[in-house]
Chains A and B, each alone.
Chain A
Amino acid sequence: GQQLNQSPQSMFIQEGEDVSMNCTSSSIFNTWLWYKQDPGEGPVLLIALYKAGELTSNGRLTAQFGITRKDSFLNISASIPSDVGIYFCAGPGSGGSNYKLTFGKGTLLTVNP
């Protein structure tokens, strides 16, 4: 089945620093999604990417859909304490199962004030 590999597994940064994390796959995805999960909560969709090469921003977050369609990265600029959480990449299933999202194992971000 489809698998998504996220790196790094965890990050410890100082408030104000920029952050970069990525996600790779052995198979092609036509859509890349980035979710954030706060402790004790369900994931929240941050950014959706639908086209290879697409670069999309949401406030201090920027994500790119890799040209090969096998990778994506997420950048967070000028981090703040509320950026703490687990960031997941996800992609839809193929064919008629596009609702069946595959998730990476996540990148745990800790921001020291």
Chain B
Amino acid sequence: GAGVSQSPSNKVTEKGKDVELRCDPISGHTALYWYRQSLGQGLEFLIYFQGNSAPDKSGLPSDRFSAERTGGSVSTLTIQRTQQEDSAVYLCASSLVGEASTYEQYFGPGTRLTVT
């Protein structure tokens, strides 16, 4: 079946502009995650959605970052007034929910964001 898809695959934007990154999770996966991967670094947790529960936003680095998940499926990560330090690959993942299922997170290919 179809995996996690993300769009756009690449985004170049000017400092100060807003950007929206989209994630389509695997159908039936109720959990959705956003991570950020800076050059040469591991993945940094940003936000977690699970069903209709309030999202865990504890990983968002500043109030310029926000995310929503509509209808329990597609998610959008928005970065307002982008800064050069926001340049990174933004990865989305989805999973079923359960002790072991939670760790089996399926990742999309990511959106490479470059802020000039």
Find residues 19-72 in chain A having any chain B CB closer than 8 Å to their own CB: 31, 33, 40-45, 48, 50
A99-B33, A100-B56 known; A42+B42 contact, CB < 8 A: no
Partner of A42, one of B91, B99, B104: B91
A4 to B113, alpha carbons, bound, how many Å? Answer: 26
Q: How far is the CB of B32 from chain A (nearest CB, A)?
A: 10
Partner of A100, one of B59, B91, B99, B109: B59
Please classify the interface of chain A as helix (H, G, I), strand (E, B), loop, or mixed, using the class held by over half of its residues: loop
B31 contacts the other chain (CB 8 A): yes
Residues of B within 8 A of A (CB): 4, 31, 33, 40-45, 48, 50, 56, 58-59, 91, 93, 95, 99-100, 102-105, 107-110
